[in-house]
């Protein structure tokens, strides 16, 4: 029914993770590599994949939408058509380490600009919590896709607070977030599609217990393994990055990425490390203890056992092997 080819020969990077898991840090570091564009906060991909997860659209349709949107985005990005120039915003093109090179595109005509740059640009998208149902991305971009999953300790207080905060925001009908939610008539609230199947449990618990349910879904080992197998089928590159390992040894991951992207780390790449204050030390045991103390009077015993199990799985199956 559909036929859509990609208009660029370059790799496509997608960085996905939980709010406050370290996505911005990863995106900033990756943007320091040659040819990589300023990262785009892409809710279109989030929404398309979420609808696929809800079985509202089929795989063929999703693949067509992803390719179509990517082709349009790479063209618009080359022309700086929708680029963000707001100086104090994290996604601003002015924050790109190679902004002086990028801004020269404003001086060229559209056609000349695109023909000159289309195969030199590595597009970089930032998405939110879509990894466990991301097969359409692998099918769409196959061996061009470099998919980065960023994880962080489930007991990180900052991440727990952020998830609890968003669990309240996602319930509202009037909200600016780009997430797909489902309206529950009995509670008259929206429920994030990730945990809609658990709505009976979800409706009557507090925001921190809701955060635990979301984390339980994100760290589902069976689903994580499934995506690893899918990446091999489509010959894509899947890179799993634990935040705690990244900040201690960022060069390990940047070296790996540079090889996949066929670029070399340079002075700008190294300056990007310093600008983002990495490498730096972290005390994971202290952070874990702080998280447990923080949750002690905020969640019931059932959810406390859940978060302890989630954290154990994180340490054994992600942190200690990636």
Q: Where are the chain's structural domains?
A: 1-154+230-281, 155-218+283-322
Local confidence band at 200 (pLDDT 50, 70, 90 cut-offs): confident
Predicted TM-score of the model (pTM): 0.95
For residue 133, the model assigns a pLDDT of: 97
Q: What is the pLDDT of residues 39-94, one digit of tens each?
A: 999 899 999 999 999 999 999 999 999 999 999 999 999 888 888 788 888 889 89
Distance (Å, rounded) from C-alpha 129 to C-alpha 132? 8
Residue 61 in 3-state DSSP? helix
Tell me the C-alpha distance between 154 and 301, whole Å. 16
Q: How confident is the model at residue 289 (pLDDT cuts 50, 70, 90)?
A: very high
Give me the mean pLDDT over the 142-164 stretch.
Answer: 98
- What value does the mean pLDDT take over residues 169-185? 91
Q: Is the distance from CB of 236 to CB of 143 less than 8 angstroms?
A: yes
User: What proportion of the chain, given as a percentage, has pLDDT over 90?
Assistant: 78
**pLDDT reported for residue 22:** 96
Domain 1-154+230-281, second-level architecture: 3-Layer(aba) Sandwich (3.40)
Q: How far apart are CA 136 and CA 55, in angstroms?
A: 13
- Dihedral of the alpha carbons of 50, 55, 57, 62, in degrees to the nearest 10: 50
CB atoms within 10 A of CB 55: 7
Res. 316: pLDDT tops 90? yes
pLDDT of the residue at 201 = 79
């Amino acid at each position: 029914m559909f036929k859509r080819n990609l208009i660029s020969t370059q790799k496509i990077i997608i960085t996905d993770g939980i709010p406050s898991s370290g996505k911005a840090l990863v995106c900033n570091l990756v943007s320091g590599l040659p040819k990589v564009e300023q990262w785009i906060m892409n809710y279109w991909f989030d929404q398309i994949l979420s609808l696929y997860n809800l079985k509202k659209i089929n795989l063929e349709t999703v693949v067509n939408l992803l390719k179509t949107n990517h082709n349009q985005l790479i063209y618009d990005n080359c022309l700086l058509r929708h680029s963000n120039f707001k100086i104090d915003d994290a996604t601003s093109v002015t924050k790109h380490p190679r902004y002086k090179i990028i801004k020269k595109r404003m001086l060229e005509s559209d056609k000349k600009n695109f023909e000159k740059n289309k195969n030199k640009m590595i597009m970089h998208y930032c998405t939110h919590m879509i990894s466990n149902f991301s097969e359409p991305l692998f099918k769409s971009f196959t061996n061009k896709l470099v998919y980065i999953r960023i994880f962080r300790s489930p007991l990180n207080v900052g991440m727990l607070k952020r998830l609890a905060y968003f669990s309240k925001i996602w319930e509202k009908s009037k909200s600016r977030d780009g997430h797909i939610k489902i309206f529950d008539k009995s509670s008259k609230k929206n429920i994030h599609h990730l945990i809609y199947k658990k709505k009976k449990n979800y409706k009557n618990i507090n925001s921190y217990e809701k955060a635990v349910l979301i984390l339980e879904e994100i760290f589902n080992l069976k689903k994580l393994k499934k995506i690893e197998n899918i990446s091999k089928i489509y010959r894509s590159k899947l890179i799993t990055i634990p935040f705690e390992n990244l900040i201690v040894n960022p060069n390990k991951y940047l070296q790996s990425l540079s090889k996949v992207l066929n670029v070399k780390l340079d002075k700008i790449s190294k300056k990007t490390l310093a600008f983002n204050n990495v490498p730096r030390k972290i005390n994971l045991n202290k952070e874990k203890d702080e998280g447990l103390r923080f949750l002690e009077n905020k969640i019931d015993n059932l959810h406390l056992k859940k978060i302890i199990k989630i954290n154990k799985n994180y340490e054994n199956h992600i942190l200690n092997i990636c």
